[in-house]
């Protein structure tokens, strides 16, 4: 059987424990939250302007197609007479 036994003996049994407790200042917390809100509002404004632009284009196409249909109807009536 291929068995290896390893024994480790420490001269000093003292255990060192490190504790780290990061401090987050209130101003840093508000700064971070404000930054995220600013980014969110910026993205929201961009989306709002994009939505308004798309809505205006849809209305233009809709109105233009209605005028086009009315114009075509007038032309066909003139030729029928």
Domain boundaries, given as residue ranges, for the chain = 47-80
Q: What is the pLDDT of residue 68?
A: 65
Q: Scan for tokens 């969110």, then name that residue.
A: 40
- At 12-55, the pLDDT tens digits run 778 888 887 777 788 888 888 888 888 888 878 888 888 899 89
Give all strands (DSSP E) within 26-76, no chain letters. Answer: none
pLDDT at 58: 86
**Alpha carbons 8 and 24: distance in angstroms, whole number:** 42
Q: Which residue has the tokens 């059987």?
A: 1
pTM for the complete prediction?
Answer: 0.41
Question: Picking from 13-17, 37-41, 65-69, 77-81, which range would have the lowest pLDDT averaged per residue?
Answer: 77-81
pLDDT, residue 74, reads: 61
């Amino acid at each position: 059987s291929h068995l290896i036994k390893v024994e480790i003996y420490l001269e000093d049994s003292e255990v060192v424990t490190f504790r780290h407790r990061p401090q987050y200042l209130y101003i840093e917390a508000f700064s971070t939250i404000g930054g995220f809100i600013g980014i969110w509002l910026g993205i929201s404004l961009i989306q709002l302007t994009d939505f308004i632009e798309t809505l205006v284009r849809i209305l233009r196409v809709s109105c233009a197609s209605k005028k086009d249909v009315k114009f075509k109807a007038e032309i066909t009536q003139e030729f029928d007479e």
